[in-house]
């Protein structure tokens, strides 16, 4: 029962955080949207007035007519309600994923924010998971290797690489990759939007080819730091008594490392991996926009360049949810792998 | 702490720190960066942030740095501006006005993009305006009249390369030298040819299609004819040979000198990085220590709030804040926002360290002697955490620098400041990476990485010296 309660508490916690963050976001958003909507109302009323004039049906008293129309739209857009009422109104809409429409279509002809996000999120996840799997694989391999020979040239080179790479902006490295491999050598396409004329295998190959540059950017910038973290955790574990006991028993070294040590080091490694994943999500999202990969990063770039507030609100909300979900997963895996956490929680309740 | 003790511990720290080679390298880089940031107005000019918002009209656009000539087979002409007293040297008065004679030694395979006579002010009281005639004497002895009796008044800019009269004159000259031009192609040449390459080209049948550069000294003669009731002012006048290359780092799409941008960007980067790191650590330390000192419910509430802050993803919220502030975040707002999200990690560690210190007997003794909360926190607990705090401050800088650069890159930066992130934003918006403008993309990122690297070096060295107990390797 202990684990079930632990899960419940973590999820409840995440829901509370989500509610509070969404409230703050709504409060901010109402202010942003107010300016936005007021401009839009004036534009709309002006357009109506001009079309009436063209038809020769211009109202007798333009000022009064204008005020009337503005009042109508203010009511329509709920601008006549109090600030607090609008916050709870936006809060409800956000929680139910109703973000409204954008002014200009994004990705072809789509104007519904929900549909845009639905299209973009899987693409982000596709890119990001591919990169992350490679990073974890490389990180464990190199980290364990470095932990085996602490102080060697390989170990020191890895540390220096991790230091340097951690101070490089990932999106800038993406631009450099574009310069070298797309412009100078021409090996890979510079734009990531797939060719619509291809189908079947050619289509998949096309997508894979376009994924190479963004994925290798994320991998190259992050794997050094990963390997370094795993190295540090492994060094600690390798000094434990049970490792010495396993070695004394005559267990082969490979098995000692991958069977005993890595298994014991798993809980912190898993949390570190997930937390680091979250940390690099921001950078990876910006990196997407460099490669015009049509995921969330690209949507962010478009939303900011064209000032689409509804879209920014939707993106922020979805990002917060993804982040919280990952935090829960990290907590749960930790609790699952490390029995001490569970016991602590279940004893309290 | 007495002054003598303080002096002693500083000198003790310094002897330890001197042994850390990486730390010394970091310190050296830091001194270099701080010097660049402080001296920016002297090295470049104090009005760069103002000028950065505008187009730099005299400069060529999107051209690489001059030193690439050392690596390429073709020499590209650098940028050359003749103004002020240098221009006066070439100028003499005649009966009817002025003559400016400029010798230009073209030793390049690709000559300048354009020749611009800029900001000459003509005033005329009557009907007759001052006129300009431009002639070139080429190294092969031929003389070309590019412009004849061009009337001007007011502040005038004449771009010889794109001026239709000059292009006409060039075609006419090529014809008069006996080179056949296909009449159907003539109009196309007039609109599309690279005029300066023809002007500086070897006189042969390829001069319009594929001009080869004729090296040697060209003498440009600008004759300004001033009628009786008119006058010409040369105070701000410049003659610019617009380069195919520019300076040390080239230019961007607005003709801005990227070197100046990189130098000025160091100010924002350092100021934001350092202030965010320092304030976050101070807030985090006091938060953690207070939480640990009070314990019980206060501790519980404060740690709940800390957990809450830790589970908010900062970048999306920062972007939302950016739109809230109207699409641009002022520098101080960026600092405040990054501190709001930056103190969280420090607070957690500070709390667990303070919990240990709290149990020490001297804290108990102080409490028994009647010391107040403030005295115990400030005098007995916080000083113990200072070594950790200093190392964290240095280690926190790269993250802050990266965050600021990321926000600027997304176009949310302060529009009144020159930052590396904004230079890269412009580069991305102009497709610099896919067009191969490497001089525009590489330096700002290297600069960001250099600042980050400097503080990582200092931070890890500080960590080793100040917290030997925490050494894990």
Read off the pLDDT of each residue in A329-341 and give the average, rounded to a whole number.
74
Based on its alpha-carbon atoms, the radius of gyration of chain A, rounded to whole angstroms, reads 27
Distance to chain B for A181, nearest Cα, Å: 10
Name every chain B residue with its beta carbon within 8 A of the beta carbon of A171: 406, 409, 424
Distance to chain B for A64, nearest Cα, Å: 31
Express each pLDDT in A201-221 by its tens digit: 777 888 888 888 889 998 998
Task: Pull the structure tokens for residue B473.
Answer: 């390797």
Express each pLDDT in A225-265 by its tens digit: 888 888 888 888 888 888 888 888 888 888 888 888 888 88
At residue A345, the pLDDT reads 43
List of E strands, B226-367: 230-233, 238-242
C-beta separation of B207 from B201 below 8 A: yes
Is A173 touching B (CB cutoff 8 A)?
A: yes
Give every CB contact of residue A37 below 8 A, 6+ residues apart in sequence. Answer: A77, A79
The whole model's pTM is what?
Answer: 0.84
Which of B402, B436, B473 lies at the smallest CB-CB distance from A169? B402
Best B323, B326, B404 residue to mutate vs chain A (most A CBs within 10 Å): B323
Predicted confidence band of residue B2 (pLDDT cuts 50, 70, 90):
low
Task: Pull the structure tokens for residue B183.
Answer: 């009449």
**CA angle (B243 as vertex; B170, B206 as ends), nearest 5:** 35
C-beta separation of A21 from A13 below 8 A: no
**Coil, strand or helix at B236:** coil
What are φ and ψ of residue B63, in 5° steps? Answer: -110, 150
Burial B403-423 (b: 16+ CB within 10 A, else e): bbbbbbbbbbbbeebbbbbbb
Read off the pLDDT of each residue in B310-330 and give the average, rounded to a whole number.
81
Which of A167, A183, A309 lies at the smallest CB-CB distance from B323? A309
On average, the pLDDT of chain B sits at: 86
Express each pLDDT in B289-304 by its tens digit: 999 888 889 988 898 8
At residue B115, the pLDDT reads 87
Q: Which of A287, A272, A157 is nearest to A221 (CA)?
A: A287
Name every chain A residue with its beta carbon within 8 A of the beta carbon of B317: 21, 25, 316, 320
C-beta separation of B411 from A305 below 8 A: yes
At residue B38, the pLDDT reads 92
**Pairing status of strand B91-93 against strand B97-106:** antiparallel
C-beta separation of B193 from B174 below 8 A: no
C-beta separation of B385 from B284 below 8 A: no
Enter the DSSP assignment of B257: B
At residue B276, the pLDDT reads 94
With residue B227 as reference, give the H or E element that holds it. Answer: none
At residue B1, the pLDDT reads 56
C-beta separation of A117 from A317 below 8 A: no
Distance to chain B for A228, nearest Cα, Å: 12
Which of A167, A307, A315 lies at the smallest CB-CB distance from B453? A167
Q: Which of B85, B156, B87 is nearest to B122 (CA)?
A: B156
C-beta separation of A346 from B357 below 8 A: no
Burial B78-93 (b: 16+ CB within 10 A, else e): bbebbbeeebeebbee
C-beta separation of A102 from A308 below 8 A: yes
How many whole angstroms separate alpha carbon A328 and alpha carbon A297? 23
| Residues pairing with B232 in the sheet | B122
Burial class (CB in 10 A: 0-12, 13-18, 19+), A103: middle
Express each pLDDT in B436-456 by its tens digit: 889 999 999 999 999 998 998
Q: Which of A81, A91, A118, A77 is nearest to A29 (CA)?
A: A91
- Helical H segments across B99-194, by residue range: 164-176, 183-192
Q: Which of A16, A155, A259 is nearest to B308 (CA)?
A: A16
Name every chain A residue with its beta carbon within 8 A of the beta carbon of B20: none
Express each pLDDT in B108-138 by its tens digit: 888 888 888 888 888 877 778 888 888 888 8
At residue A246, the pLDDT reads 86
Is A121 touching B (CB cutoff 8 A)?
A: no
At residue B470, the pLDDT reads 47
At residue B469, the pLDDT reads 57
Express each pLDDT in B27-71 by its tens digit: 999 999 999 999 988 888 888 888 888 888 778 888 888 888 888
Which of A20, A305, A315 lies at the smallest CB-CB distance from B316? A315
Enter the DSSP assignment of B381: I
Length of chain A in residues, anyone? 349
Maximum C-alpha span of chain A:
100
**Coil, strand or helix at B213:** strand
User: Among A70-84, A297-311, B266-280, which range has the highest average pLDDT?
Assistant: B266-280
pLDDT at A343 over 70: no
Is A290 touching B (CB cutoff 8 A)?
A: yes
| CA distances in angstroms from B176 to A207, B198, B388, listed in the order given | 58, 14, 82
Give every CB contact of residue A245 below 8 A, 6+ residues apart in sequence. Answer: none
User: Among A49-53, B186-190, B423-427, which range has the highest average pLDDT?
Assistant: B423-427
| Residue located via tokens 């008044």 | B153
| CA distances in angstroms from A216 to A134, A173, A219, B278, listed in the order given | 9, 10, 5, 34
At residue B471, the pLDDT reads 46
Read off the pLDDT of each residue in A138-163 and give the average, rounded to a whole number.
86
pLDDT at A344 over 70: no
% chain B with pLDDT above 70: 98
Enter the DSSP assignment of A99: -
Read off the pLDDT of each residue in B373-384 and give the average, rounded to a whole number.
84
Q: Which of B270, B331, B443, B435 is nearest to A172 (CA)?
A: B443
Sign of CA dihedral B332, B333, B336, B341: negative
How many whole angstroms separate alpha carbon B288 and alpha carbon B238? 62
Quote ipTM for the complex. 0.83
Check CB contact under 8 Å for A286 and B316: no
Other CB atoms within a 10 A radius of the CB of residue B471 amount to: 8
How many whole angstroms separate alpha carbon B78 and alpha carbon B65? 8
Q: Which of B332, B455, B324 is nearest to B28 (CA)?
A: B455
% chain A with pLDDT above 70: 94
On average, the pLDDT of chain A sits at: 81
Least reliable range by pLDDT among B55-59, B351-355, B416-420: B55-59
């Amino acid at each position: 029962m202990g684990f079930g309660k632990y899960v419940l508490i973590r999820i409840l916690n995440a829901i509370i955080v989500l509610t509070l963050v969404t409230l703050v976001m709504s409060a901010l958003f109402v202010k942003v949207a107010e300016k936005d909507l007021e401009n839009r109302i004036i534009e709309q009323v002006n357009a109506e007035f001009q079309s009436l004039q063209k038809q020769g049906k211009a109202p007798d008293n333009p000022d009064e007519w204008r005020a009337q129309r503005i009042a109508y739209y203010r009511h329509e857009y709920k601008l006549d309600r109090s600030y607090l009422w609008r916050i709870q109104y936006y809060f409800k809409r956000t929680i139910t994923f109703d973000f409204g429409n954008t002014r200009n279509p994004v990705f072809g002809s789509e104007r519904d924010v929900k549909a845009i996000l639905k299209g973009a999120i899987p693409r982000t996840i596709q890119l990001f998971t591919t990169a992350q799997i490679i990073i974890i694989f490389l990180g464990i391999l190199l980290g364990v290797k470095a932990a085996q020979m602490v102080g060697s040239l390989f170990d020191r080179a890895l540390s220096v690489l991790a230091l340097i790479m951690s101070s490089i902006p990932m999106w800038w490295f993406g631009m450099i990759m574009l310069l070298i491999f797309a412009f100078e050598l021409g090996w890979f396409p510079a734009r990531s939007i797939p060719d619509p004329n291809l189908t079947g295998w050619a289509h998949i190959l096309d997508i894979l080819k376009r994924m190479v540059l963004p994925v290798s950017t994320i991998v190259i910038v992050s794997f050094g730091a990963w390997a370094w973290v795993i190295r540090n955790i492994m060094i600690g574990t390798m000094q434990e008594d049970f490792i010495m006991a396993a070695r004394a028993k005559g267990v082969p070294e490979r098995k000692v490392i991958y069977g005993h040590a890595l298994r014991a080091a798993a809980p912190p490694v898993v949390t570190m991996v997930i937390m680091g994943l979250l940390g690099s999500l921001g950078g990876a999202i910006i990196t997407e926009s460099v490669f015009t990969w049509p995921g969330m990063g690209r949507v962010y770039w478009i939303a900011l360049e064209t000032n689409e507030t509804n879209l920014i609100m939707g993106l922020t909300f979805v990002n917060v949810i993804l982040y919280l979900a990952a935090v829960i997963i990290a907590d749960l895996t930790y609790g699952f792998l490390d029995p001490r956490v569970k016991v602590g929680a279940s004893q309290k309740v | 702490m007495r002054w003598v003790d303080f002096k002693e511990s500083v000198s003790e720290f310094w002897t330890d720190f001197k042994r850390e080679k990486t730390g010394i390298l970091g310190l050296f880089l830091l001194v270099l960066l701080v010097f660049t940031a402080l001296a920016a107005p002297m090295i470049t000019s104090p009005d760069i942030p103002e000028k950065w918002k505008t187009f730099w009209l005299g400069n060529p656009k999107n051209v690489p740095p001059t030193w690439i000539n050392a690596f390429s087979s073709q020499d590209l002409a650098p940028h050359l501006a003749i103004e002020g007293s240098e221009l006066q040297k070439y100028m003499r008065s005649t009966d009817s006005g002025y003559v400016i004679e400029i010798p230009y030694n073209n030793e390049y395979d690709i000559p300048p993009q354009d020749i611009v006579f800029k900001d000459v002010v003509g005033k005329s009281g009557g009907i007759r305006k001052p006129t300009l005639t431009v002639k070139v004497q080429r190294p092969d002895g031929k003389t070309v009249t590019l412009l004849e009796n061009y009337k001007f008044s007011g502040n005038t800019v004449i771009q010889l390369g794109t001026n239709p009269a000059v292009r006409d004159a060039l075609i006419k000259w090529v014809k008069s030298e006996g080179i056949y031009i296909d009449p159907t192609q003539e109009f196309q040449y007039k609109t599309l040819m690279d005029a300066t390459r023809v002007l500086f080209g070897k006189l042969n049948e390829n001069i319009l299609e594929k001009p080869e550069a004729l090296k040697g000294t060209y003498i440009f003669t600008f004759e300004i004819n001033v009628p009786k009731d008119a006058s010409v002012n040369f105070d701000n006048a410049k003659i610019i040979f617009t380069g195919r290359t520019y300076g040390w780092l080239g230019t961007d799409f607005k003709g801005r000198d990227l070197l100046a941008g990189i130098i000025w960007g160091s100010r924002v980067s350092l100021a934001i990085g350092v202030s965010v790191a320092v304030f976050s650590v101070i807030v985090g330390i006091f938060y953690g220590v207070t939480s640990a000192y009070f314990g019980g419910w206060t501790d519980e509430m404060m740690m709940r709030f800390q957990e809450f802050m830790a589970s908010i993803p900062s970048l999306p919220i920062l972007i939302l804040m950016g739109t809230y502030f109207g699409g641009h975040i002022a520098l101080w707002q960026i600092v405040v926002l990054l501190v709001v999200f930056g103190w969280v990690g420090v607070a957690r560690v500070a709390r667990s360290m303070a919990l240990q210190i709290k149990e020490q007997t001297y804290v108990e003794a102080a409490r028994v002697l009647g010391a107040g909360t403030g005295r115990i926190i400030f005098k007995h607990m916080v000083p113990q955490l200072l070594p950790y705090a200093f190392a964290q401050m240095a280690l926190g800088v790269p993250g802050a620098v990266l965050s600021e650069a990321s926000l600027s890159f997304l176009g949310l930066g302060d529009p009144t400041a020159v930052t590396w992130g904004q230079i890269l934003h412009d580069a991305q918006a102009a497709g610099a990476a896919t067009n191969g403008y490497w001089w525009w993309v590489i330096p700002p990122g290297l600069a960001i990485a250099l600042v980050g690297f400097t503080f990582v070096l200092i931070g890890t060295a500080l960590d080793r010296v100040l917290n030997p107990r925490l050494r894990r390797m």
